[in-house]
Each structure stands twice: as structure tokens, then as C-alpha cells.
Amino acid sequence: MKNIKSKRKDTQVIHAGTNPDKTYGSVAPPIYQTSTFKFDSAEQGAKRFLGEEPGYIYTRLGNPTTSTLQEAIATLENGTSALATASGMAAVSTIYMTFLEAGAHIIGSEAIYGPSRVVIENEFSRFGVEYDFIDTSDIEQVKKAVKPNTKLIFIETPANPTIKLTDIKACAEIAHNNGAVLAIDNTFMSPILQNPFDYDADIIMHSMTKYINGHTDVVGGILVFNNDELMQRTRKVLHNHGGTIDPSQAWLVLRGLRTLSLRVNKAQENAQVIANYLEQHPKVKWVRYPGLKSHPHHELAKQQMKGFGSMISFEVEGGIEGGKTVMNNVELATLAVSLGGFETLIQHPASMTHSSMNKQDRSNAGITDGLIRISIGCEDAQDLQDDLEQCLNKI
Ligand SMILES: Cc1ncc(COP(=O)(O)O)c(C=O)c1O
């Protein structure tokens, strides 16, 4: 479609990405389930390898189904290109491999998806990478953490699972004044609710396993760029290290993507109802949801987000035992990690998604033992509330 970039998100989500089928005019994009592509001649093969002729070579290096998905997400994020990966963590690791080296320093949000932090602390540190995971919601801490060798600032906002927000524009300014790159994990917001290029971020990352696919049946990730030089550097690393997505996986994500806007909007309507309900409940000690006035970053949320999303963290009376009572008694919500699916998922970060972090780091980051994270889905809000009510009554 012409001028898709000028359309609104609800239209882009349905139409972005060129259908590669020129033969039969199939409306749904075909799955090009092939590992390799035939050349017409030895000369053509050589030209493709030299980048002198467009066209596909080998699926690890590119595939038409994957290209459609990449084009769609790049459009939705107001970017110019994207690289789809086998998982969200493949995308995170690709950023780290591209922009870090021995002696380089990374600043990251302390409350972040557990493995995004642990892979630096346990693996990249073995290759001489230095790091500071800090509270990036406090911009003074970010300024203080910068060193001459800081190459990358990696933030997650809202952060997982504390739902703290970081000021993207302020971080971009700090990164750019120091010659560093700002990458942001935008998984919790999806391209519908937050577009970090509008706030000068350099790279946007999503675990497509979550909202973008939205059906709890695919693992995938993506990196989005609005700068060709950064994309080309990253592309070489991704293609050589091999964390590329498979075409059938890319196709499933494309199918899920088409309803992203509907799902995200319904889930966040529900989330506001549930957050309001939890906040007034006598068995609930505190609730963190950017759409609540009590959220410390509610004003920032209104500025840099287009909606408040559907991720809520809360703590109930009775600490971890109270939390277990809720998780063991849910009937409608599913006790499972992950998020951003059409259904409601509830989990306990300290023993599940963030168990790989050491206990002290967890506690410094505000990931208390009693914190419960809920990813609100697209069910009826009253039914979700009734489910939580029967659990809370058992505490
Ligand atoms: C915010 C966030 N970033 C990254 C990841 C990693 O994504 P994946 O599981 O697709 O590797 C997750 C997974 O839970 C996540 O929640």
C-alpha cells in the first residue's frame, strides 16, 4: 500500500508490510518455507553476495515472509528497517554483541527482564564487559553512571516487573552526549502505545512472543532502527551469529500482529478497571499501574505513552504466603509466565521470571518477594474482577 507511513496506527497494523506473492495474488502472505534460494546464474549469485543485486540468498540472511513482518513492525514503530530474531533474548543478545566489546561499559535498568541483566553479569562480563544496573527512572543516577567507555544504555520502560518508568528523551540525550547508543525494550507497550523513536531512542527491541504475536503460541523477537548505519552493523552480527527467525514463525507473528491494536486497547481498558479495583481492596497493600494517579510516574506516562498498557504489579497482605493463595486459587487467570497474550496470565517474579537475579539485586530493584505480576487479557473485566475477588477473599 502506498503512503502507509502517513496512516494511523489502527490502519498500519492491518496493512503494513508488502505481500511478497506476485504469482497468484494470495491475500495472505505466503510462507516461503525454504532454507535457500536458486540463482539464475553464477554471476547473479556472486552479485547477490556482494550486495550489488537485490534478492534472497539463504534464509538465515533473509526471507520474503520475514521481510514482510520486518517492514510491518518498522512502519508501526516509525522506523526505517527491522531485523526479526528467533526470540526476544536473541534480539537482546544481538544488541549486546554489536555494541559492546572488552573494556566497554553498559548502563541498564536494574528492574529489567531477568535474563537481559543476567546475560551481561554472567556471560558478557567473562569477555571483559563492564556494567552498572541502576534505577534509570532516576535520571540523576543515569548521569552519574556514565563513564568515558559507556557504549550502550539499555532501558526497559515500563520496567519488568516493577512498572517503574524511565524518561526516554532524557536518557537519549545522556547517551548521545557521550557517544553511546540508547536501546529500549518496548515489549510492555507494543508499537501501539509507545514509539521510542519519537523520543530519540536509537534501537527498539520487542519480544514478539508477547503483545505483537499475542496468541501465546510463538517465541520471537525484533530490533527496529531508524538509522541505516546501526542497522547494517547489527545485521552482520545477527546473520553471522544465527539468531534469525524461521519463516513459519514469522508468518504466525504476522497473523497475530493484525489484531494487535484491538487486543491492546481491550486489554488496557480491562487493566484500568482491575487496577482501580485492586487499589481499593483491603487485602491489597499496593498496586503499580501507570494509569493510577498513585503511580509515581503517572505524569511521565501521560507524556511518553499513548495509553497505560495492561501490565499490573501488586502485593497482597500476608507477603509471599498471601501471594501464593492468590496464584493457587485463580480460575480464569492462568498461572504462567509470559505476558501480552489475549488471555490473562499471573505469575510470581521472585520465584519465576526474575529468579535468575541474585536476591540482593532483586530487593534493590524493588522486586519484593510478595510482588505479583498480572498481564491482563481480553476477557470480560467483571469476570476477571470476580476471579480476583474469590482469590483475595481466601487470604
Ligand atoms: C520485557 C521482556 N523483554 C524480553 C523478554 C525475552 O523475550 P523472549 O522470551 O521472547 O526471549 C521477555 C520475556 O519474558 C520480556 O518480558
Residue 152 gets the label, from left (phi > 0), alpha (psi -120 to 50) or beta, of beta
pLDDT of residue 319 exceeding 90: no
**Please, are residues 264 and 193 in contact by the beta-carbon 8 Å criterion?**
yes
Helix then strand count (H, E) for the chain reads 15, 12
Residues β-bridged to residue 357:
none
Rounded to an integer, what distance in angstroms lies between the CA atom of residue 5 and that of residue 79? 10
pLDDT of the residue at 200: 98
Atom from ligand 1 closest to the CA of residue 188: 1
The pLDDT-based confidence of 1 (bands split at 50, 70, 90) is low
**Please, are residues 65 and 32 in contact by the beta-carbon 8 Å criterion?**
yes
**Residue 375 Cβ contacting ligand 1 at under 6 Å:** no
Rounded to an integer, what distance in angstroms lies between the CA atom of residue 29 and that of residue 252? 11
CA of 372 to the centre of ligand 1 (A): 17
Mean pLDDT across 160-182: 97
Q: Which amino acid is at 330?
A: V
Rounded to an integer, what distance in angstroms lies between the CA atom of residue 191 and that of residue 257? 10
Rounded to an integer, what distance in angstroms lies between the CA atom of residue 40 and that of residue 47? 11
Query: Could you give all domains of the chain from N- to C-terminal order, each with its CATH number?
Result: 8-257 (3.40.640.10), 260-392 (3.90.1150.10)
pLDDT of residue 27 exceeding 90: yes
**Please, are residues 149 and 107 in contact by the beta-carbon 8 Å criterion?**
no
**Please, are residues 284 and 316 in contact by the beta-carbon 8 Å criterion?**
yes
Mean pLDDT across 15-33: 95
Which residue has its alpha carbon closest to ligand 1 atom 10? 88
pLDDT of residue 298 exceeding 90: yes
Q: Which three cell numbers stand for residue 226?
A: 531508524
The pLDDT-based confidence of 326 (bands split at 50, 70, 90) is very high
Rounded to two decimals, the pTM is: 0.97
Rounded to an integer, what distance in angstroms lies between the CA atom of residue 194 and that of residue 62? 27
pLDDT of residue 292 exceeding 70: yes
pLDDT of the residue at 244: 98
- Within 10 angstroms of residue 241's Cβ, the number of other Cβ atoms is 15
The pLDDT-based confidence of 361 (bands split at 50, 70, 90) is confident
Q: What percentage of the chain exceeds 90 in pLDDT? A: 92
CA 213 from centroid of its chain's CA atoms = 11
Specify the DSSP element, H or E, that contains 38. none
**Please, are residues 92 and 99 in contact by the beta-carbon 8 Å criterion?**
no
The pLDDT-based confidence of 103 (bands split at 50, 70, 90) is very high
Atom from ligand 1 closest to the CA of residue 337: 14
Q: Among all chains, which residue has been given the C-alpha cell 480491562?
A: 270
Atom from ligand 1 closest to the CA of residue 112: 1
SS3 content of the chain, % helix, strand, coil (to 5): 40, 15, 40
Mean pLDDT across 151-164: 95
Summarised one tens digit per residue, pLDDT across range 224-280 is: 999 999 999 999 999 999 999 999 999 999 999 999 999 999 999 999 999 999 999
Residues with a known catalytic role:
60, 113, 185, 210
Mean pLDDT across 20-48: 97
Rounded to an integer, what distance in angstroms lies between the CA atom of residue 201 and that of residue 136? 14
pLDDT of the residue at 38: 98
Mean pLDDT across 30-51: 97
Mean pLDDT across 79-107: 98
Rounded to an integer, what distance in angstroms lies between the CA atom of residue 124 and that of residue 243? 17
CA of 336 to the centre of ligand 1 (A): 14
Q: Which amino acid is at 372?
A: I
Mean pLDDT across 322-344: 95
pLDDT of the residue at 368: 87
Q: What percentage of the chain exceeds 70 in pLDDT? A: 99
CA of 113 to the centre of ligand 1 (A): 6
pLDDT of residue 344 exceeding 80: yes
Summarised one tens digit per residue, pLDDT across range 209-236 is: 999 999 999 999 999 999 999 999 999 9
Instruction: Out of 110, 209, 355, give the residue to mutate to test ligand 1, the one with the largest number of ligand atoms within 8 Å of its CB.
Output: 209
Rounded to an integer, what distance in angstroms lies between the CA atom of residue 268 and that of residue 277? 14
Q: What is the mean pLDDT of the chain?
A: 96
Mean pLDDT across 315-341: 94
CA of 53 to the centre of ligand 1 (A): 36
